[in-house]
Structure 1
Amino acid sequence: MPDPATTGTPGRKRYRFREYHVTAAVDPMALPTFEAVCVTGEDHDCGTTSGELHAEDDLTRWIAEHCAETGHDFYHRTTRATLRAEPGAWQ
């Protein structure tokens, strides 16, 4: 790498960041959402999805029904919740 003092190009700059602590709290007014996608299959995934559900029991029921109908037994599950960031102090 050429020396910036001799080439007239600016050198690399260093930036230092302070750590900012943030905690995240679940919003009690927002419903969580649960979703599952069937990933059973050899050449390709089944891909059937439960859609967004607001109760974990409903998701379990959907998985059980899909498994009973198809014999598929592998699923990806996604759980989402609305969070509120609560800023902390600079460190």
Structure 2
Amino acid sequence: MTTVADPMAVPVYEALCVTGEERNCGAESGTLHTPDELTHWVAGHCAQTGHQHYEQTVRAILRAEPGAWQ
């Protein structure tokens, strides 16, 4: 079996601000639909706060393809 990205599903992007010493800022972008939207959110948050460290998550739908495990 293998897995492949489902070409009919659109990936989604999220960012979490992890800037901080004692604890992370924790600001979240929410679900966004393009890398440009994610970059725009990060740029805006950075401009407002000066925060520079973010965790990015990209979620996509996978489809299992039948076959022998290799």
The percentage of aligned residue pairs carrying the same residue is 61
Structure-1 residue corresponding to 2:45: 66
Unmatched 5+ stretches in structure 2: none
Return the index of the structure with the highest Cα Rg. Answer: 1
- Count of residues in Structure 1 that have an aligned counterpart in Structure 2: 70
Structure-1 residue corresponding to 2:65: 86
Q: Output the TM-score relative to the length of structure 2.
A: 0.93
Deviations 1:20-79 (A, max 9, x none): xx2111111111010000000111100000001110110011001100110000000000
Unmatched 5+ stretches in structure 1: 1-21
The whole-number CA distance in structure 2 between the counterparts of 1:45 and 1:90 is: 40
The whole-number CA distance in structure 2 between the counterparts of 1:56 and 1:90 is: 33
Q: Output the TM-score relative to the length of structure 1.
A: 0.72
Which runs of at least 4 in structure 1 moved beyond 3 Å after TM superposition?
Answer: none
Task: Give the alignment's Cα RMSD to 1 decimal.
Answer: 1.2
Structure-1 residue corresponding to 2:10: 31
- The answer as to whether partners of 2:17 and 2:24 remain within 8 angstroms in 1 is yes
